[in-house]
Amino acid sequence: MDTILRELEAGHRLGSGHRLAAALTPIDTPEHPDRLKSFYFFSNAAQLSTSLRYYISHLSGVRIPKEDLNAWVDIFSAYWKAIGEIVNFDEIPSRASWANVFDSWKDLANVLIRAYTNPGLEAWTIPCLYVVGKYLRVFASKADAESLSQGSVAYSEDDMFTDFGKNAKTEESARVLNRMFTLCLNDRAAMEESRKWGVYYMSNLLFKTYFKINAVGLSKNLLRALNAQSQDLPDKERYPRSHIVTFNYFVGVIFFLDENYAEAETHLAYAWNYCQKHAIKNKELILTYLVPCHLVNTHTLPSKKLLNDFPRLEKLFRPLCDCIRKGDLHGFDAAMSAGEEEFVRRRIYLPLERGRDIALRNLFRKVFIAGGFEEPKDGQPPIRRTRIPVAEFAAALRIGTHADARTRVDIDEVECLLSNLIYKGLMKGYIARERGMIVLSKGGTAFPGTGV
Partner 1 sequence: MSNTQSQDTKQQEASQQPQQQKPTVLEEDDEFEDFPVDGESSARVSDTDPSFSSLNFISPLKMHWPENETEQATANGNNVHLWEESWDDDDAAEDFSKQLKEELKKVDASSS
Q: Which of residues 147-176 bind partner 1 (CB under 8 A)?
A: 149-150, 153, 156
Specify the residue, 18 or 49, whose C-beta has the smaller distance to partner 1.
Answer: 18
Specify the residue, 73 or 360, whose C-beta has the smaller distance to partner 1.
Answer: 360
CB of 450 to partner 1, least distance (A): 5
- 257 to 296: interface string for partner 1, x by CB under 8 A: ---------------xxxxxxxx-xxx-x--------xx-
Specify the residue, 49 or 242, whose C-beta has the smaller distance to partner 1.
Answer: 242
Residues 181-200 that bind partner 1 (CB under 8 A): 192, 197
**Residue-wise DSSP of 224-235:** HHHHHTGGGSPP
CB of 124 to partner 1, least distance (A): 5
Specify the residue, 178 or 194, whose C-beta has the smaller distance to partner 1.
Answer: 194
CB of 46 to partner 1, least distance (A): 27
CB of 159 to partner 1, least distance (A): 11
CB of 84 to partner 1, least distance (A): 13
Stretch of 39-47, 73-81, 143-151, 331-339 contacting partner 1, by CB under 8 A: 143-151
CB of 378 to partner 1, least distance (A): 27
Interface with partner 1, residue 32, by CB under 8 A:
yes
Interface with partner 1, residue 81, by CB under 8 A:
no
CA angle 180, 182, 188 (to 5 degrees): 115
Specify the residue, 10 or 49, whose C-beta has the smaller distance to partner 1.
Answer: 10
Is 143:169 a contact under the CB 8 Å cutoff? yes
Q: Nearest CA to 89 among 142, 18, 133?
A: 142
Q: Nearest CA to 428 among 412, 439, 437, 415?
A: 439
Residues 40-79 that bind partner 1 (CB under 8 A): none
> End-to-end distance of the chain based on CA atoms, in angstroms?
76
Q: In what order do the strands lie in the sheet with 429-432?
A: 387-389, 437-440, 429-432
CB of 342 to partner 1, least distance (A): 11
# residues contacting partner 1 (CB under 8 A): 100
Distances, alpha carbon 85 to alpha carbons 40, 105, 213, 397, in Å? 10, 9, 25, 66
- Whole-angstrom Cα distance, residue 169 to residue 212? 12
Sign of torsion, CA 195 201 202 203? positive
Instruction: Please tell me whether residue 261 adopts helix, strand or coil conformation.
Output: helix
Stretch of 14-22, 44-52, 75-83, 429-437 contacting partner 1, by CB under 8 A: 14-22
CB crowding 289-302: b at 16 or more within 10 Å, else e: bbbbbbbbeebebb
Sign of torsion, CA 222 227 232 238? positive
Specify the residue, 169 or 283, whose C-beta has the smaller distance to partner 1.
Answer: 283
CB of 114 to partner 1, least distance (A): 21
- Whole-angstrom Cα distance, residue 195 to residue 183? 7
Specify the residue, 49 or 62, whose C-beta has the smaller distance to partner 1.
Answer: 62
Specify the residue, 49 or 324, whose C-beta has the smaller distance to partner 1.
Answer: 324
Is 137:208 a contact under the CB 8 Å cutoff? yes
CB of 275 to partner 1, least distance (A): 6
CB of 141 to partner 1, least distance (A): 7
- Whole-angstrom Cα distance, residue 193 to residue 123? 5
Residues 300-319 that bind partner 1 (CB under 8 A): 300-303, 305-306
- 88 to 127: interface string for partner 1, x by CB under 8 A: -xx--xx-xx--------------------------x-xx
How many CB atoms within 10 Å of residue 257? Answer: 17
- Whole-angstrom Cα distance, residue 431 to residue 338? 35
Which of 325, 402, 433, 435 is the binder for partner 1 (CB under 8 A)?
Answer: 325
Is 169:144 a contact under the CB 8 Å cutoff? yes
Instruction: Please tell me whether residue 438 adopts helix, strand or coil conformation.
Output: strand
Specify the residue, 81 or 299, whose C-beta has the smaller distance to partner 1.
Answer: 299
CB of 271 to partner 1, least distance (A): 9
Residues 351-390 that bind partner 1 (CB under 8 A): 358, 361-362, 365-367, 369-370
